[in-house]
Amino acid sequence: MSGMMGLNIGVRALKAQQRALNVTGHNIANANTEGYSRQRAELTATTPYAIPSLHDRVQAGQVGTGVKVKQIIRLRNLFIDGRFREETSNLGKWEQLSDALHEIELIFGEPSDLGLRSALDNFWSSLQELHNNPESGAVRAAVRQSAAALADVFTALRGQLQDFQWALDGYVKNKVEEINSYARRIADLNKQISLVVGKGDNPNDLMDERDLLIDKLASLVDIELNYDSTGKVNITIGGFSLVAGNQNLELTYIENHSKNGMVDVKWKSTGSSLLLKSGELKGILEARDEIVADFISELDTMASTFIVEFNEVHQNGYGLDNSTGIKFFEGTDASNIRVSDDIMDEINGLNRIAAALSMDSPGDGSNALKLSEVMQTGLLNGEKTTMADYWGGIITRLGVDSQRALHMVENQKALTEQLDQQRQSISGVSLDEEMANLIRYQHAYNAAAKLIQTQSEMLDTLVNGILR
């Protein structure tokens, strides 16, 4: 019986080392697979054999019977995983904010000869020239041309900001669909994983696939995870369940007419608003509804205030044709500001530019001076800030916010990279370590084969000896 036991021990050793070699090979094969976690075969001694005897001390009992693979586990640290996902979510938010602010910087294009500040300066210079040469048709044409250019810059900036806002609205819809897709796939994997766990096995590769999806989901929205005894993961966002076992609840987007038809993100089943703290979706929504909306509002404030104040002065003046009460600009804000039809009239428009303060005063440029002073007078921020200074403040704030967002992106990248390195030190495949394991298991396998050969030779000697 002892000889057969030795053979059994050898066979078990061969099988166990072979399984360990297969796990090592699986690690090596997936060394560059995204989301793969290093696996390890846990070897344990099999149940020992108690030799029966009348007296326990006659001979040694509890004889070992060999080795078996208890389980194949994957090496993960849930705490580091949670930290990584939390910081990835913060990174996603700041990346979107930084990208949005950079896009606005490109739209404004300051400092530039084609920017709003340059258009304001050119218009002011033309009014100064009109004050000095109120009768000059060329000067008057320059005033009208620079005014039209200023209005065009206002409307162009406003239009580009609104186009960007609509583009962000499209990104919101795409992110909602992406989140729903991840949730469906995670729920499907929950079902598969629970079936394998129910059989007593470890679905390591399925869990890797699910964790990779969770990582990607975490970059989009801030999530909270809860694992149950069957291996399923439940995911919540802002206290609402996105994935519950095998089921997923979907998000949807609904047009909000108070936002000109831009969408709000809600839970499809309840209609409740989605509450977010971080993630790419949070960054996009904040950029669309706060940052871009604020800059549009600032432009509208500048344009509407300028239209009212400039027209008031112009309507009190007189043109070369003694016309008065003429509006120089029309419109209500940056979206529709333009030089009035009276001024743009090809025949009499230039004569209607009110440079004088009284009738029949073709050489009087006093009102033109007052018009230029509108550009240098405090009109905004409680009549404390000029148009140029107000715009300069907008550009300065944009630059500060952009630098802050970029700094936050760099900090978050450094933090997530550090956490990812910690994850990889635990879960990542080290080819050097796997090669060492390969040699170790190979030697153990060869030794087990040698054990079987030795036991076979011993049995052969025993049998042949008896036969003789």
Give the integer Cα–Cα distance in Å for 414 and 336: 45
The pLDDT, as a whole number, for residue 325 is 95
231 dihedral zone (left: phi>0; alpha: psi -120 to 50; beta)? left
What's the pLDDT tens digit per position in 384-430? 899 999 999 999 999 999 999 999 999 999 999 999 999 999 999 99
Residues in the chain, pLDDT under 50: 1
Q: Which two tokens stand for residue 54?
A: 């009348």
The pLDDT, as a whole number, for residue 119 is 95
Give the integer Cα–Cα distance in Å for 126 and 254: 49
The pLDDT, as a whole number, for residue 1 is 44
What's the pLDDT tens digit per position in 334-393? 999 999 999 999 999 999 999 999 898 888 999 999 999 998 888 888 888 999 999 999
- pTM for the full predicted model: 0.90
